Structure 1
């Protein structure tokens, strides 16, 4: 139910913005680049793509939706950090590459259809991983995520500090010691440009496999 809700909600916000989530391209899926494979504590194994480790995208920085769409065309999606182990795995790769920041699939439910009581207030209860549909724990429970203790205003994240300029900070980025706070989660306005991490999407891989018999993914 949560996954279906999240997918519906992200579809609504994309439609409102007159932009669309990309459909996977079978050939791109079959030829997708995978830099690492990780098996988490749940026994789930996924492959990952790091944009700064691939020559054609080494210097590419895009907004949040474009990062998802690049991933989705390759049967992947922007990374969803659903366990502490997966979070640490990605953070280590960021540090190793000396990357300043990246996009994840994290999104705040603050658009039409997000008026459910259990999602209020959005900055506390409305965060979810759009790549997988999993809900992120309340931001007031500091041990349930990896939000930074500080930001541009010196306040714990998410602080939505760009709201005063009309830019709701609705997307979740990882910043590499940007505020002398280590490698931590921050809420960021979705139009900012950043490198990104893709993760295999079982949903998209199954979708392509079901429509392309014999394809090797």
Structure 2
């Protein structure tokens, strides 16, 4: 064999292996995206869940990238995140930067809606980690044309979802009954 033929043969074998095992270049570097100051500090498989993105001291896992677009109830979404291990929870939005980031993910992925880790607690709201809301992105409208949260489903809207222009209102927060099904963004804080 000539050197060129050996090279073509090698490329063919690598190409076949890539197709056979569905192992493209993104798998080599997933969880290793460069960020300011070097590579992220979340190893690929730390705590089970594989991070889809890392920013601002948090790793994020997008359910729709791993489960074929499956939808979850609010409780099942929280359970999915917890099942990833290593401190994963449904996302808790703690800053304006994180609010803008989550909104951009929802918009760029063209999702209709996602679950967060926001839950009703008495007369207020908190994140699953127990933190109170420090920022909010409530919509000015909803299914009953009232500002959110409106609890329009008879006292059952105890979960927080981010809806993508569902009521012509942009990407905004809505209180939603937890039995509805949506994708979820999970978060693991550093």
TM-score, length of structure 1 as denominator length: 0.63
Which residue in the other structure is 1:146 paired with?
A: 137
Q: How many pairs does the alignment contain?
A: 144
Structure 1: tracts of 5 or more residues without a match: 1-27, 40-44, 111-121, 138-143, 203-217
Describe the SS at the equivalent of 1:85: helix
1:28-82 CA distances to partner (integer Å, 9 max, x unpaired)? 854421100011xxxxx0100011222xx13210111111111111130000001
Return the alpha-carbon distance in structure 1 between the equivalents of residues 48 and 168 of structure 2.
Answer: 39
Where does the alignment leave 5 or more consecutive residues of structure 2 unmatched?
A: 1-44
* Partner residue, 1:192: 180
Q: Do the aligned partners of 2:115 and 2:160 also contact (CA within 8 Å) in 1?
A: yes
Q: TM-score, normalised by structure 2?
A: 0.72
Matches within 5 A, 1:120-135: 122=123, 126-130=124-128, 132-135=129-132
The answer to which structure has the higher strand fraction is 2
Report if aligned partners of 1:77, 1:201 keep a CA contact under 8 Å in 2.
no
Distance of 2:47 and 2:96 partners within structure 1: 30
**Structure with the larger helix share:** 1
Q: Deviations over 1:103-123 (max 9, x none)?
A: 00000014xxxxxxxxxxx1x
Partner of 2:95: 83
Please name the residue that 2:49 is paired with.
32
Q: Per-residue deviation at 1:201?
A: 5.1
Partner Cα separation in structure 1 for residue 183 and residue 159 of structure 2: 14
SS at match of 1:156: coil
User: What SS does structure 2 have at the residue aligned with 1:175?
Assistant: strand
Larger Rg: 2
Across the aligned residues of Structure 1 and Structure 2, the Cα RMSD in angstroms comes to: 1.5
Which protein, 1 or 2, shows the higher relative CO under an 8 Å CA cutoff with sep ≥ 6? 1
